């Protein structure tokens, strides 16, 4: 039955066209934005996961920056300790030369005094971003190493710690007081070794043979402690370098995982867009035919 009041064919064609237009709009949005899941309404579960992981990835980016800063601190400390070892080795050579009979110990001491001042200069200069790892009070220095989210959703920041020890067998050249001033009476170089004093303060001008031997023993102990400290700093530097590589790879993995959840497949969307555009044209044509069919009723009333 044909009705002039209700055009069922046109209604069906219009409903089809609306559905095609909705699908076409969604596809065009995906093509323009590059996202399959751009907002929570697209897929609440995937959007929630992607949003959380993007947030974590920004935290990892901050960790990467912190690792770079930490690496600079450790490298500065290592360079200072390595330079101090070279200076102590020179002092050792001077003391050995002073054991030779006829050597003017006062002249040797003049050279040693310059080297002792160089040790203080190294300790004072080994600061990066306000932190000094070769001259400081007993305590802990930390470098941010990673950002962690556990299975329960709890987040935390992990650090790599370096404990400063101001004893003669510790890992700092000198101690430091609460005001930030270097204490030349503590640390590997500043701690006194009895009657001969510390490496920093010893004066061999009037040393006899037993005291020269004691001075050499003190120097050797200092070198051993400094070599151990340099090894610790080198190990931390290597660990930071490895962690930087891991954080970078982890960040890339998170980006890739989030992309798989929410990124649009551009080849698929391109094909779908072409198909929907064709369907839209056919639907418009179908609606036009359905609308014109009602006019055919007029032919029934022509005389």
pLDDT for position 272: 84
Average pLDDT of the segment spanning 234-243: 93
How many domains does the chain divide into?
1
User: Nearest Cα to 159, choosing from 229, 57, 236?
Assistant: 236
Q: Which of 109, 115, 111, 127 is nearest to 182 (CA)?
A: 127
Q: Is 227 within a domain?
A: yes
Give me the helices (H) in the chain, please: 8-33, 44-98, 105-125, 187-190, 209-262, 266-293
Task: Quickly tell me which residue has 């959380």 as its tokens.
Answer: 52
pTM: 0.77
Residue 272 inside a domain? The answer is: no
Buried b (16+ CB within 10 A) or exposed e, 23-42: bbeebebbeeeebbbbeeee
Instruction: Please report which confidence band the pLDDT of residue 1 belongs to, taking 50, 70 and 90 as the band edges.
Output: low
Query: How big is the chain by its Cα radius of gyration, in Å?
Result: 39
- Rounded to an integer, the average pLDDT of 108-119 is 96
Per-residue pLDDT tens digits for 30-77 = 787 788 888 888 889 999 999 999 999 999 989 999 999 999 999 999
pLDDT at position 128, please?
93
For tokens 């090894």, what's the residue? 231
CATH of the domain at 90: 1.20.1330.10
Q: How far apart are the C-alpha atoms of 250 and 247, rounded to whole Å? A: 5
Strands 131-132 and 127-128: antiparallel
In this predicted structure, the answer to whether residue 16 has a pLDDT above a threshold of 60 is yes
Say whether 160 sits in a helix, a strand or coil.
Answer: strand
For residue range 254-297, list pLDDT tens digits in order. Answer: 999 998 888 887 878 788 888 888 888 888 888 887 777 767 76
* Residue where the block lists tokens 């040393």: 207
Q: What is the pLDDT of residues 132-166, one digit of tens each?
A: 999 999 999 998 888 888 878 788 888 989 999 99
Distance CA 37, CA 33 (A): 10
The predicted pLDDT at position 2 comes to 63
Is 276 inside any structural domain? no
What mean pLDDT is reported for the chain? 89
Q: What is the pLDDT of residue 235?
A: 94
**How many CB atoms are located within 10 Å of the residue 46 CB?**
16
- Is residue 178 assigned to a domain? yes
**Mean pLDDT along residues 204-208:** 93
| Full residue range of the structural domain in which residue 205 is found | 44-262
Q: Tell me the per-residue pLDDT of 172-191, one tens digit each, with 9 for 90 and over.
A: 999 998 888 999 999 999 99
Does residue 22 form part of some domain?
no
Phi, psi of 53 (to 5 degrees): -70, -35
pLDDT > 70 in the chain, percent: 95
Distance spanning both ends of the chain, measured CA to CA: 22
pLDDT for res 154? 84
Q: Residue 2: inside a domain, yes or no? A: no
């Amino acid at each position: 039955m044909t009705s002039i009041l209700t055009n069922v064919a046109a209604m069906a064609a219009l409903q089809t066209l609306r559905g095609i237009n909705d699908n076409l709009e969604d596809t065009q949005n995906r093509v323009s934005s590059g996202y399959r899941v751009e907002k929570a309404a697209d897929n609440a579960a995937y959007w929630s996961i992607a949003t959380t992981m993007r947030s974590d990835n920004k935290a990892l980016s901050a960790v990467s920056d912190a690792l770079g800063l930490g690496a600079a601190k450790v490298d500065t400390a290592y360079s200072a300790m390595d330079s101090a070892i070279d200076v102590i080795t020179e002092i050792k050579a001077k003391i050995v030369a002073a054991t030779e009979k006829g050597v003017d110990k006062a002249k040797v001491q003049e050279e040693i005094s310059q080297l002792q001042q160089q040790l203080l200069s190294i300790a004072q200069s080994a600061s990066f971003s306000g932190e000094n790892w070769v001259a400081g009070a007993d305590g802990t220095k930390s470098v941010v190493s990673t950002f962690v989210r556990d299975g329960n959703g709890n987040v935390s920041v992990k650090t790599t710690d370096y404990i400063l020890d101001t004893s003669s067998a510790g890992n700092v050249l000198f101690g430091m007081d609460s005001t930030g001033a270097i204490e030349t009476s503590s640390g590997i170089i500043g701690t006194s070794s009895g009657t001969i004093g510390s490496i920093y303060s010893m004066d061999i001008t009037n040393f006899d043979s037993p005291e020269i031997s004691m001075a050499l023993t003190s120097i050797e102990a200092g070198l051993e402690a400094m070599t151990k400290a340099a090894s610790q700093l080198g190990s931390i530097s290597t660990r930071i370098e490895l962690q930087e590589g891991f954080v970078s790879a982890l960040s890339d993995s998170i980006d890739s995982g989030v992309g798989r959840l929410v990124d649009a497949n551009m080849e698929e969307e391109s094909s779908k867009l072409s198909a929907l555009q064709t369907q839209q044209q056919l639907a418009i044509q179908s609606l036009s035919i359905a609308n014109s069919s009602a006019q055919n009723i007029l032919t029934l009333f022509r005389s």
